[in-house]
């Protein structure tokens, strides 16, 4: 099963107490670092829109990027009355962003980077699509031992999370002006906790 068909199936039961709670926590952490209002915000790997929805008052325009049609059906239903929320149905590792959608003041992504083949390349693409003084928030599993997902291959997992050092090395490699890192949440499963880190990149 590839990444996309996995998430088409997963979309049917994606919204639950845990995913809602963690996206609320992610948004609270993001809000501490961004202006109260920005012009454009991108949510990469937006899923059903749990994080986008938490940030809806922060921007004039919010664009979800998502490759799974199942996820996007729920995303478009959630925002049916919110004309400022839009989406692009693309696989951003294979297809380009249309030239008229950016630049973005804030780019956020939650729990999507471990599904990418080339996360550094994606961060570089984000950087090219940032407004001056824009910020990027990568929220994902802290480096783990491969036990978080019950079936890494079947669930399209390409990385077992990312350590602070890895996220920071990307900042240096791509020439961001500053980098911050926080553990913003813990997911309890398999009788243990998995930390969720947030890397913050300033242009
Ligand atoms: C684990 S889900 C997280 C969804 C949402 N951010 C949340 O936390 O509720 C990861 C999402 O990233 C999307 N995704 C993964 N690779 C992608 C790509 N290359 N382009 C666009 N979306 C992608 C998947 O389809 C999936 O919906």
pLDDT digits (tens, 9 = 90+) for 8-46: 999 999 999 999 999 999 999 999 999 999 999 999 999
> Does residue 103 belong to any structural domain of this protein?
yes
Token match 């997992």: residue?
157
Q: Which of 163, 161, 202 lies closest to 179, judged by CA? A: 202
Name the pLDDT band for 2 (thresholds 50, 70, 90): low
- Alpha carbons 5 and 148: distance in angstroms, whole number: 20
| Contact residues of ligand 1, CB 6 A cut-off | 3, 7, 19, 23, 45-47, 50-51, 65-68, 71, 91-93, 110-112, 115-116
Q: Is the pLDDT of residue 144 over 90?
A: yes
Q: What is the pLDDT of residue 4?
A: 76
Q: Which atom of ligand 1 is nearest to the CA of 23?
A: 8
Q: What is the pLDDT of residues 97-106, one digit of tens each?
A: 998 999 999 9
Number of folded domains that form the chain: 1
- Confidence check: pLDDT of 157 > 60: yes
Domain CATH code at residue 106: 3.40.50.150
Q: Which phi and psi (to 5°) does residue 93 adopt?
A: -85, -15
pTM for the full predicted model: 0.97
Q: Which of 47, 117, 148 to mutate to test the pocket of ligand 1 (most atoms within 8 A of CB)?
A: 47
Residue 194, in any domain of the structure: no
18 assigned to some structural domain = yes
pLDDT at 156 > cutoff 50: yes
**Residue 203 falls within a domain, yes or no?**
no
Residues of the chain with pLDDT > 90, as a percent, come to 95
Q: What is the pLDDT of residues 42-95, one digit of tens each?
A: 999 999 999 999 999 999 999 999 999 999 999 999 999 999 999 999 999 999
Model pLDDT, residue 1: 43
**Which of 46, 76, 40 has the alpha carbon at shortest distance from 61?**
40
pLDDT above 90 for 198: yes
Q: Give, for ligand 1, the residue of 4, 112, 151, 187 to mutate: max count of ligand atoms closer than 8 Å to Cβ.
A: 112
- Tell me the backbone φ, ψ of residue 78, rounded to 5 degrees: -60, -40
Domain that holds residue 66: 3-189
Closest residue CA from atom 4 of ligand 1: 47
Average of per-residue pLDDT values in the chain? 96
Mean pLDDT of 162-170: 98
The model's confidence at residue 5, banded by pLDDT at 50, 70 and 90, is: confident
Q: Does residue 3 have a pLDDT over 90?
A: no
d(CA 45, CA 66): 5
In a domain, 202, yes or no: no
pLDDT of 103:
97
């Amino acid at each position: 099963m590839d990444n996309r068909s996995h998430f088409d199936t997963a979309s049917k039961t994606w919204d639950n107490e845990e995913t809602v709670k963690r996206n609320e926590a992610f948004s609270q952490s993001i809000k501490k670092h961004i202006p109260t209002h920005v012009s454009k915000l991108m949510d990469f790997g937006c899923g059903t829109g749990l994080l986008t929805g938490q940030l809806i008052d922060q921007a004039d325009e919010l664009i979800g990027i998502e490759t799974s049609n199942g996820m996007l059906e729920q995303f478009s239903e959630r925002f049916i009355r919110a004309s400022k929320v839009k989406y692009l149905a693309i696989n951003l590792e294979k297809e380009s962003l249309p030239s008229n959608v950016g630049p973005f003041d804030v780019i956020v992504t939650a729990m999507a980077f471990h599904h990418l083949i080339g996360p550094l390349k994606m961060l570089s693409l984000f950087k090219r699509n940032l407004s001056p003084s824009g910020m990027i928030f990568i929220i994902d599993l802290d480096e783990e031992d491969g036990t978080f997902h019950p079936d890494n291959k079947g669930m399209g997992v390409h990385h077992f999370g990312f350590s602070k050092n890895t996220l920071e090395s990307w900042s240096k490699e791509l020439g961001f002006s500053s980098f911050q890192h926080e553990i913003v949440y813990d997911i309890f499963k398999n009788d243990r906790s998995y930390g969720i880190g947030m890397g913050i990149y300033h242009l």
